[in-house]
Structure 1
């Protein structure tokens, strides 16, 4: 194999830009000039990287002209945007930016970024300068015949064959079928065109495949069954809780906004779940049971996920009915997930999380719990119960736990409740837990519903010493511009975004942009879902302040939290 020798200098093409510092050793800057089209100038320069300054008049238009050539040449791209330039962030992502700078920044930061840009450009050049592709494999061509042409996922025929093989071999018990139907997708093609719709479908398939690989391991298949409906096939094995986890994470992944053709597309999902029973051998029957559960979910006012009833036992899946008695039976449990300071490694706080110890389905997560509460019109009652129980437990902490910060989640229903600020503050004071060690968290989705109401509530909390965080901040770039108008202390980036930082260079630009934006607004950043040392190292380099996730610990019982702190020496 021939490997291209490293060039003494990497040429970086600069579209209309403001002042740039000297490029430094190994970097040669070539600025756009004259009337020749920009893409032709870029190709003639043989540059391996591009700098596009979107603060300059015409910068976004210049990037639109250059983007196809940049992608075609597999070049690196640095986009420079202003502190409130939401449209610029969209344009940078659509163009496939590998690096992002949010103004203002120091000249040394720009110099270091240019050096990194040049290095990325050299690596991308090496990736695409190897030996010619091998002839197509006939086996690959046969496999392609059972793939969906739009998304690249398997098709309905492949899904049925997968089920037939496992059911015919006697593996029916525990075979898992999830049917995922997108909500509001029909509006995408109508509003933005078929090309945008196809792009979104490819994004949905990729996200679902990522979740399936993470939760199910090796033996799974994702297929597009037609239209905007997907199937996820796998095995429940000895871990029934994986079914709930899989459904919750798929719903969460699909709900994160998509960006296509410059537009932000927000989708939802309804999911029907069926699990094979002992002696199950009929693939059509198993798919039909999942389809019936999906129809029930579609007809539901609030439930995202519905489970097909088994034929061998009563169907205990109407969680809304069960929940009416769960609180009084003591089935709602608390878990505490540590939040760790990245700089020193000490556990500085915990987030309180609710779990439902269902007598039949086992331990259910917060999403399933609150979805059931919404259907049963018990969201406020459940939220009140969880808040009171959490504050009471934390007020009794001693030893190392006595110094921890406590984060409690609020719902959109809490924010809309008249007089909630006084009610909550009284609840805190009555528990004996100090206001100064308390943080309230509200999800990005809950924030959108009434921004002015949230701003007033947050200001009241902060005036009493309670800190405020935006939770699960994901790819909703439409909200970046108004973060500066809210009285906030923390921004918590969604676990998918935190995990993406260890993906490709193009994935990292999104994480880097959000962290830079938060820090420019004076907010501390907490990354959720951190699972590997690589993710933590990359987040630390970008300036993230805290993390929580399985790298430190899963959500723990109160006793297990005390044991962990003792093991770590407090």
Structure 2
């Protein structure tokens, strides 16, 4: 593994040493960007043992991705600061622009560089180069790390169909000659092979760097970091020892500053007995039992550790350093303060609900849970029992809007469903009004849930949003639609395919390049592809949306604005965006058969679209009367139950055959 492709050391300092990355949500994406720029990457999703993992990696640069996870990011920076200083490393922190006001906290915690998101790929790569230069100047070659002298790793060269292993790995596995690739993969135990297959699948789909955990004889639990050299196609694997983690000890350490229930009662009793004011906030994690059931006791301990840290830090921020935090049992936390004014108490209640609503990272999974939170002030003469009873009753009355158990349960289960192939597609025909011919289809996602049956796209994407998987699900559905459409029978070879793009896609700086790579890789022609984006997906940054759609249109795709006429309707979209189609929302479509006033509104939308050179597609057409009125107003295409419900590929092929 010594004949790596040469790199230009002078303009790209530090690339002879790895980069260590900790990203709670976007590990693989960030690792792929760094790998594509020529770095060896060791990437992690969990904070456990992060200092030891940085030291073992021999990295000159550590990256902490705190976007959407500020508290966890701060905790990680604090954990890494000692190793960063001792080894002359650089510590680059990624933050969301909304959290830029907290950069001072990251600096105080030990960060040396920062980059604010949204960011472009080139900006991230240059930030890595600046960080590597900082490490080179501060630490020179850095400390010699014993673990790196005995590195465990291997490399597969597809051109030669050969595998090379490091001496340390050969010794560990007892290899006397170069093994085959199949033999290297067979060393993964049966219980971990699903994780291996998923990692290999990500590489086949074009991801440049990924990782999976498994048991390795003689080394215990390890993380295997896989990286593809885009130039040569070689696969490099770096094996990182994790060792045994005492989850109970980790929880005890995290809860060291958190009182137990008895201690909290004594604290309150002293103050109430003296007639001093007191206020309490009670917070309970939703569906904590589900985590224990789905992931095991160790995962539950990890969630408690993270939750307690979030609650304690938020209590200090909102109620001051004299506030106490106590774990009352299970996943229930009590915060008590002696001198909280009503505004501070309200702020504490709101902020604690906010920090507990953030997803929790469990291994390679993201588990959204949410919480119920209530706050009360002690009444004059009230004792501890009465105060705690009153806050418990207030908590019982909380509705926990938006965190219902059904959606939370779906969110926890979604990653497994995607890996198990439970996300399926249906195709709804789009019909030419003038001829009745089926000219295209829109791809719609369905979840074939094992226990609940079919779940529609709206609930599916709501669960993905809750789980922090909106981007992953969108990509999954888009690539699935392209792959299936590329295999359509000859009778459907002229149909257009419409796929949906989400607001998360629009915010992804390199989405156009990624998407076009998926299209070309599938074999489906760009000229028959329509990208549909809802009005809601354009709200965040119409400039970014316009640039993205222009790139896709220039590349040969067509572009449609979906669900026009709902919520955020704006003529600015039609003026600013490069569009081919305008899709009228189903509510407007159904209004056309209503009052004269309703019909005038629909007519105005159609006339405006056609004046701008846009074709009009009406969604949700259910009756012949609606279709006739739409035809009179000049609508060219429609989709809806009048033609067909969303169909499987076989049902669609049969319908197309009948229509011809």
Q: TM-score range by the shorter chain?
A: 0.3 to 0.5
Q: Give the structure-2-normalised TM-score.
A: 0.39
Q: Give the structure-1-normalised TM-score.
A: 0.45
Q: Which has the larger radius of gyration?
A: 2
